Amino acid sequence: MKKVVVTREVFDETIECLEEHFVVDANQRDEKLSRERLFEKIADADGIQTASNDRVDEEFLAAARNVSIIANTAVGYNNIDLEACSKRKVIVTNTPGVLDQSVADFAIGLMIAACRRMGEAERYLRSGNWRSVYLKQMLGIDVNGATLGLIGFGRIGQEIAKRARGFSMRILYHSRNQVNANIERQLGAQFVNKDDLLRQADVVMLILPYSPETHHFIGETELSLMKERAVLVNVARGGIVDDSALIRALKERRIYAAGLDVFEGEPAINPEFLDLDNVVLSPHIASGSESTRKAMAMTAANNLVEVLAHGRPPLNWVNRE
């Protein structure tokens, strides 16, 4: 039987599915494996189910000399050197589609939390400082009727737009390609250039893939274009925002607030974020509902089964070309 390595803990049903077809070496204790220990495990693997924080590079692929498929348990794949995998004829897959609804829900929640100062308010209450209710207490920004600027307008961006319509929000979007007119009409969304979106939006929300082209897509220049009362929300990937520039803008109150689920260099984050009241922070959990994470793990496993057990193309082939 062929061998599959699962690098981080997944659900029992995922392991059961894989064990019907393969010898499975699964890290169900979720140990933080050193690169050396991981390389020992993958040395004779035919397939590997990776997590989004596994770095798949030339060194990794050299260690996994028998591997023919890397099944990433995430929709993003910036942790994987696609060029190196393609050179070695290693298939790379991801898990698109199954997390769209959960991420869209979370993005709306993060937006509301940042606009209405929910994180700050909870810390205030927990500290024992709340003494009374008064007119100007914890005043925030209304979401209803505000202008939402979505940077990135794929499946998740469009799901966010659907939800935003329930708040009577005006919806602007910017992406590499303009969607067709029918989708724009259905979602009440208007395509604009990046600078116009930044100038007009009350909430700027990022939901675009990370790549060398989108590194620091939001930096000092872009932040300077935003309204003083604007909110930035990032549920995309760390590195799309220049975190140092954002911290300066938040400290100097050049923008109102931010809601962040992703960070440069995560799980480490810039400690200056922790001292700011006008930012809501979460640990990369936008897709973190039980049903969604189970679906992600099973999608990755099914990609392995299609390729290694049935000799068929995978369900979600990233480097098909």
Instruction: List active site positions.
Output: 237, 266, 284
Percentages helix, strand, coil for the chain (3-state, rounded to 5) are: 40, 15, 45
Distance of alpha carbon 203 from alpha carbon 303, whole angstroms? 37
Cis amide leading into 267 (omega within 30): yes
Distance CA 99, CA 113 (A): 21
What is the rounded radius of gyration, in angstroms, for the C-alpha atoms of the chain?
21
What pairs with residue 70 in β-bridges?
48, 92
**CA–CA–CA angle 116, 117, 120 (5° rounding):** 160
Residue 168 burial (CB count, 10 A):
11
Q: Quote the CA–CA distance of 42 and 15 in Å, as a whole number.
A: 17
* Three-state DSSP class for residue 273: helix
Closest CA relative to residue 231, chosen from 275, 279, 270: 279
Main-chain phi, psi angles of 237, to 5 degrees: -150, 150
Q: Which of 20, 15, 6 lies closest to 309 in space, CA to CA?
A: 20
Give residue 195's identity as a one-letter amino acid code: D
The CA distances from residue 234 to 6, 158, 205, in Å, are 29, 15, 6
Could you say which DSSP state residue 252 is in? T
HSE value, Cβ hemisphere, 13 Å, CA-based, for 173: 28
